[in-house]
Amino acid sequence: MISILDEKQKVRQQIKLQKANLSFSEKAKRSLFVLKKVENDIHFQKANTIFAYWSMSDEINTREFVERWSKSKKIFLPVIIGDTLELRQFNGIDSMKKEGRFGILEPQGMLLENWNDIEYAIIPGIAFDVLGNRLGRGKAFYDRILNKLKAKKIGICFDFQLIERVPIEATDIPMDTVFSERFGN
pLDDT at 102: 67
Residue 172 has a pLDDT of: 85
**Backbone phi and psi for residue 42, each to the nearest 5 degrees, phi listed first:** -60, -35
Are residues 88 and 76 in contact, defined by beta-carbon separation less than 8 angstroms?
yes
Q: How many helices and strands in the chain, by DSSP H and E? A: 5, 10
pLDDT of residue 94: 87
Distance between CA atoms of residues 174 and 47, nearest Å: 20
Is residue 101 pLDDT above 80, yes or no?
Answer: no
Q: Mind listing the pLDDT tens digit for each residue in 34-79?
A: 999 999 999 999 999 999 999 988 999 999 999 999 999 999 999 9
Domains of the chain: residue spans and CATH: 4-179 (3.40.50.10420)
Q: What's the whole-number mean pLDDT along residues 107-121?
A: 95
Tell me: the pLDDT tens digits for 135-181? 998 777 888 889 889 999 999 999 999 999 999 888 888 999 999 99
At residue 137, the pLDDT reads 87
Question: pLDDT value at position 1?
Answer: 62
Average pLDDT over residues 81-90: 89
Those residues whose C-beta lies under 8 Å from the C-beta of residue 75, and which sit 6 or more positions away, are 50, 52, 66, 69, 89, 90
Q: What is the mean pLDDT of residues 74-93?
A: 91
pTM metric for this prediction: 0.92
